[in-house]
Structure 1
Amino acid sequence: MLDTQTLSALANARVAIVYTEWNDSIINAQLEGCERILAQFDAKVAGKYAVPGAFELPFGCRRIWERLRELDGAPEAIIAFGAVIRGGTPHFDYVCQAATEGILQLNLTLPIPTIFGVLTLDSEAQAWERLGGPHGHKGEEAALTALKMIAFNRHK
């Protein structure tokens, strides 16, 4: 969890969320868990923005940063949420690789962290195992990761 020193460094943390339109019931569960944790730590949601799919997440995250960076209340982290479920074609592999590499590039080029909240799944049942089941809650974990990275970035 977060230690006392980290908690004190999180006053008014600001997080933007970019999420996909695909697999909306899964995405909604991710968002609910994320927002629950952010509220618990009095962090602010600097905006929620939808993109069509996981392939578009890196572009969406970059555009949100470019649009908001000069404003009061600019995000200190961006969380990218998506859920890609394997089908019968290699499309799954291409989309997952593009989303992963795109978010990696954002982490290397933006001055704020972009948190990888993309679930890569073999089935919808696996999503629910990761959204309150035996594998924890990945929406909550993404929020905690964002808060820890904001504290890391604020630390001088």
Structure 2
Amino acid sequence: MSSADKNLSVFNTEGLPDISNKKFAIVVAEWNNEITEKLFEGAYQTLVNYGAAEANILRGNVPGSFELTLGAHWFAQREDIDAVIALGVVIQGETKHNDYINHAVAQGITNISIKNNKPVIFGVLTPNNMEQAIDRAGGAFGNKGDEAAMTAIKMVGLKDQIAGK
């Protein structure tokens, strides 16, 4: 479903796990900072609103979305981190750079999740233009940061459920 058909900040909260003792890392790309800061604010506030302790939310900045993979990997390697959220935006523009970056970051995030056996969430916007990015960073279609944080919460809960915790 495209975000044009759904508000990214509206989700099912039934049966959410207790995350008061869970530790989250949020990796934020500095490129397109006016968008990524709004994504961070959404993710951070969603984690806090659903029970994460502020002291258990760590932030790391990377220069751009391409670097999200390595930043996320470093956090994912830490045993005390339960989930990592990678936030960035790559706008289509006039060249195909977005195709290469988006594919590399999506594949990298998937590989990091599997390698480290923990949720690493792809919270990267891939809009055609700045207006679409604004709409998905707290605008008309909600905030992808909210959605990424909720995904992290649900995946931590699923992992605990499967482990019998």
TM-score scaled by length of structure 2: 0.84
SS in 1 for 2:90: strand
Aligned-CA RMSD value: 1.4
1:26 aligned onto 2:27: no
Identity percentage over the alignment? 37
1:99 aligned onto 2:105: yes
**Which residue does 1:36 correspond to in 2?**
45
d(CA) in 2 for partners of 1:56, 1:24: 14
1:54 aligned onto 2:65: yes
1:146 aligned onto 2:155: no
1:136 aligned onto 2:142: yes
SS in 2 for 1:6: coil
**Which residue does 2:4 correspond to in 1?**
none
d(CA) in 2 for partners of 1:46, 1:39: 9
**Which residue does 1:85 correspond to in 2?**
91
Aligned partners of 2:127 and 2:133 also within 8 Å: yes
1:26 Cα shift?
A: 0.3
d(CA) in 2 for partners of 1:56, 1:144: 23
d(CA) in 2 for partners of 1:149, 1:83: 22
Partner residue of 1:115 out of 117, 121, 136: 121
1:83 Cα shift?
A: 0.4
d(CA) in 1 for partners of 2:45, 2:94: 35
Which letter maps to 2:127?
Answer: L
Aligned partners of 1:13 and 1:147 also within 8 Å: no
Aligned partners of 1:54 and 1:95 also within 8 Å: yes
d(CA) in 2 for partners of 1:59, 1:131: 23
1:13 aligned onto 2:22: yes
1:99-150 residue CA offsets vs partner (Å, 9 max, x unmatched): 1111111122112110000001111110121123332221111111110011
1:5-41 residue CA offsets vs partner (Å, 9 max, x unmatched): 434x433222101111100010010011111111111
TM-score scaled by length of structure 1: 0.88
Greater percentage in strand: 1
d(CA) in 2 for partners of 1:141, 1:21: 20
Structure 1 runs of 4+ with >2 Å offset: 9-13, 131-136
SS in 2 for 1:29: helix
SS in 2 for 1:103: helix
Aligned partners of 2:113 and 2:120 also within 8 Å: yes
d(CA) in 1 for partners of 2:76, 2:115: 11
